[in-house]
Amino acid sequence: MLRSTSRTIRLAKNVIKPTIIRSSRLNQFRSVAQLAHFKTPPNLTNEPVKNFSFNDTKDWDLLRASITKFTDSDQPLQIPLVINGEKIYKDKTLNQVNPAKHSQVLAEVSQASPKEIQLAIDSTKKAKKEWAQTSWVDRAAIFLKAADLISTKYRYDMLAATMLGQGKNVYQAEIDCVAELADFFRYNVKYAEEMYGVQPISTAPGVWNRVEYRPLEGFVYAVSPFNFTAIAGNLVGAPALLGNTVVWKPSATAALSNYLLLTILEEAGLPKGVINFIPGDPVEVTDIVVNDPEFSALHFTGSTDVFRQLYSKINTNVANGRYKDFPRIVGETGGKNFHLIHSSSSLNHAVLSTLRGAFEYQGQKCSATSRLYVPESLWPEFSENLNNQMSQITIGNCTENLHAFMGPVIHEASFNKVKDAIEEAKADPQLEVIAGGEFDKSTGYFIQPTLVRTDDPNHDFMKREFFGPLLTAYVYPDAEYESIMDSIDSVTKYGLTGSVFARDRKAIQLATDKLRYAAGNYYICDKSTGATVGAQPFGGSRTSGTNDKAGFGSLLSRFVSMRSIKENFYEIADFKYPSNIS
């Protein structure tokens, strides 16, 4: 586990025993598979999100204790590379700091050199055969057990690591590194089970047809973003569940929670070499990994520009004939997500949903609301109400001020990007800063939630992803409700999420029809964020990604290579067909 003198695994001491229900769920999976019948476990539900309300004193106490475990030492935690199950500590490290208090170094993260990157690739190859031959029930059990460890024994440690390292408040951490992560692991088992159960017909006499869902022949490269611990878990977990082995390059600003997750998977029984953890220079790691002839798939989540770069490197190698396979490329990328408010909408609901959509987790969700379209008739009341609500948002270091609604943005580059945009807005005659607009990085990377209004629906602020607490509004004439949709649809290159707020059913129908390709996740009278595994399969198209839908069975099909098998039980006695006999 985390190496740091005696702190090492005091991290695991807030133990809550996994419940009987959870173990019986495991048994259900076992017996189902032993019978070779495929059916969904009846009690599979989304992990309940803890409220952390004022009276939940036990939860708060356990959380505080976990936060202290990560922060009470003078020495930062040492995070190793993990290759073939072996922890490798390097002299060359990169600090992960608390974005809410950047003087606080949380971890010194070992950085892989070319030699270790190659070792990690070799390790995936070495582990592959045995892992691929491990029965799927045993593979599934590891992920089901990890889900239970996350939601019980390590719940508060995961929360603390994600809150400290990634600047989340407790609720945002709960829905990410506990609920969504456990959901990914559990629902992927359900979806894999269903996928394996889809088999071809065998209607001809004496013939048995079947499809074998082989893992990919080579290895998978998973590159994860900073903003969701759960996404990192799915990027590595989905391919591994299906028998693939993985090189994992975590985000430098999520290494703490990501490493803790890896140790949980190990405790759940993940064999050596199945997932190899390689923090390091992203370009260097990528160049070595995608140049290997046995590179079989990229599983990426992050910005569109980075995905393009990876895509292009892979394409060059495809063109050169370097690979054994045509690699699968799965990527979920950026967004410029909209809220379209119709004059018939419930104003207060639309305002509150917009505030949550735009400013929860500091606007650092790929699905965060960043474009707002409000009709002229509602704008005075809407903007006053939104302004008023925004003034009540509390911002702070969420591990000290545990009740803060917003924390910091993730790092200095992100701070500068949003700060520059706000300064640009202040100087641009086509933009007006309506609320917020302040920032301060003296202790942490804090930016006030900021609302900007533009009088140009084609303004660059309606196109660019800022990935911070910056929302741009355009006020449209009520009569232009239909034509504003053309602008919503075409002004950005993205197509991730979007919402329409209306009570008038015709207005909803029209938007649903005209905005068919504007969002891969489309909401009616709800905010553009908050997709739940199994309930709203997640992903967008256009330049928002390959839209393979995380949290749904379709994703899993990208990490298997099917083999059709026909077995014949009869023997022939003559090479001639009846028509050949005169």
What residues line the site for ligand NAD (CB under 6 A)? 223-228, 231, 249, 251-252, 282-283, 286, 301-303, 306, 309-310, 332-335, 366, 465, 467, 496, 538-539, 544-545
Dist CA 426 CA 418 (whole Å): 12
263 vs 544 by CB, closer to ligand NAD: 544
Dist CA 236 CA 242 (whole Å): 11
* Listed residue (331, 510, 398) closest to 169, CA to CA: 398
* Listed residue (560, 331, 566, 377) closest to 480, CA to CA: 377
Q: Minimal distance in Å, beta carbon 410 to ligand NAD?
A: 7
* Listed residue (19, 241, 247, 37) closest to 141, CA to CA: 241
What residue number has its CB nearest to ligand NAD? 302
167 vs 225 by CB, closer to ligand NAD: 225
381 counts as catalytic: no
Q: Minimal distance in Å, beta carbon 246 to ligand NAD?
A: 14
State the amino acid at position 13 in one-letter form.
K
Q: Minimal distance in Å, beta carbon 331 to ligand NAD?
A: 8
Among residues 108, 116, 266, 332, the one annotated as catalytic is: 332
Dist CA 506 CA 174 (whole Å): 37
CA angle 31, 37, 39 (to 5 degrees): 85
DSSP H or E stretch at residue 83: strand 81-83
Q: Minimal distance in Å, beta carbon 467 to ligand NAD?
A: 5
Q: Minimal distance in Å, beta carbon 422 to ligand NAD?
A: 19
* Listed residue (95, 94, 99, 162) closest to 418, CA to CA: 99
273 vs 280 by CB, closer to ligand NAD: 280
Neighbours of 150 (CB within 10 A): 27
364 vs 383 by CB, closer to ligand NAD: 364
80 vs 540 by CB, closer to ligand NAD: 540
Q: Minimal distance in Å, beta carbon 384 to ligand NAD?
A: 30
254 vs 386 by CB, closer to ligand NAD: 254
Residues 6+ away with beta carbon under 8 Å from 94: 108, 109, 111, 252, 279
The CA distances from residue 379 to 94, 342, 474, 519, in Å, are 47, 11, 10, 24
Q: Minimal distance in Å, beta carbon 407 to ligand NAD?
A: 16
226 vs 445 by CB, closer to ligand NAD: 226
End-to-end C-alpha distance for the chain, whole angstroms: 78
Q: Minimal distance in Å, beta carbon 489 to ligand NAD?
A: 19
Report, in this order, helix, strand and coil percent for the chain, each rounded to 5: 40, 20, 35
DSSP for 414-463?
Answer: HHHHHHHHHHHHHH-TTEEEEE---EE-SSS-EE--EEEEES-TTSGGGT
Please say whether the beta carbons of 278 and 90 come within 8 A.
Answer: no
DSSP H or E stretch at residue 521: strand 521-524
Map tokens 């309300």 to a residue.
53
33 vs 109 by CB, closer to ligand NAD: 109
365 vs 459 by CB, closer to ligand NAD: 365
Residues 6+ away with beta carbon under 8 Å from 181: 147, 150, 158, 229, 230, 233, 234, 261
Q: Minimal distance in Å, beta carbon 360 to ligand NAD?
A: 14
By annotation, the residues acting in catalysis are 332
